Structure 1
Amino acid sequence: MSATAELLAAAEGGIIGDGRTGANLALGIGALGLAIGWLALARAGHRVSTGNARTIGISAIAAGLAGTILAVLHLATSSGGPGTGNGLVGAIAAIPLGLGAVYLGRRALTRSRHADRPAGRMTV
């Protein structure tokens, strides 16, 4: 491949086309949110002593929502079907990752709320 053809391919989106870039971004943010959610859940269970469980849980929820919204927007705007190279399958895979991050972040918030409550006092 000549240098001109490589520059032309890079200008058009390169190996990873414009369609796959949005899906990969949604996948990355969803996976990051899932990792943050696991960290928040571990912190809420007092197994890890880094950071505040509530702050980390809120961050996991925010990253999960961002990943899910990006994936749904990519699904709504992509043309063609699976296997066409526009990232449709990646966007479909990013939705459960983002929702899992939201679930783990919410669960960490609930655990941290129960851990902060005094042991001798019941509140309804």
Structure 2
Amino acid sequence: MSQLPEPSDLSALAASVYTLSAGRIGASAAALLGLAGAVVAWRVLTRPAGRLGRIGAGPALGAGLLAMALGGLVAATADGGVGTGNGLGGAYVALVVGALATVLAGVALVRTRRGSDATR
């Protein structure tokens, strides 16, 4: 019969809250990049046709795709589970926010292209 580990042994498994590992930094950067892409794409969608619509959708799409790629890389290379300090939770957030930014930017890109074709 196996014994339960001592509480002092469990603290060695989880990382400190204040420790910044490479996985945490990468996941945080990816999540912030995806968030920036989602905000820009949302502004392109909600603003009337103007300068932001023409130049904002492309970078927002790139930011979303890059956030998903970096989040996927961190998730694939994380050694432990969520709470071990490897950035796995942040990688999941980056994947979701990056996908949201990609979808919003794709819709914005289609709308701006459709609008520019109608004016020709």
TM-score by length of 2: 0.76
Query: What stretches of structure 1 move > 3 A for 4+ residues in a row?
Result: none
What is the aligned-residue RMSD (CA, Å)? 2.0
Distance of 1:113 and 1:31 partners within structure 2? 23
Amino acid at match of 1:65: L
Q: Which structure 1 segments of 5+ residues have no match?
A: 1-13
Deviation of the 1:85 alpha carbon: 1.3
Q: SS in structure 1 opposite 2:118?
A: coil
Q: 1:75 to 1:118 in 2, by over 3 A?
A: closer
Distance of 1:82 and 1:15 partners within structure 2? 14
Q: SS in structure 2 opposite 1:68?
A: helix
Deviation of the 1:18 alpha carbon: 2.2
**2:36 counterpart (19, 32, 39):** 32
Kept in 1, the 8 Å contact 2:19–2:85? The answer is no
Instruction: Within 5 Å, give how 1:65-104 maps onto structure 2.
Output: 65-104=65-104
Distance of 1:70 and 1:19 partners within structure 2? 10
Number of positions where the alignment pairs a residue of Structure 1 with one of Structure 2: 103
Kept in 2, the 8 Å contact 1:53–1:112? The answer is yes
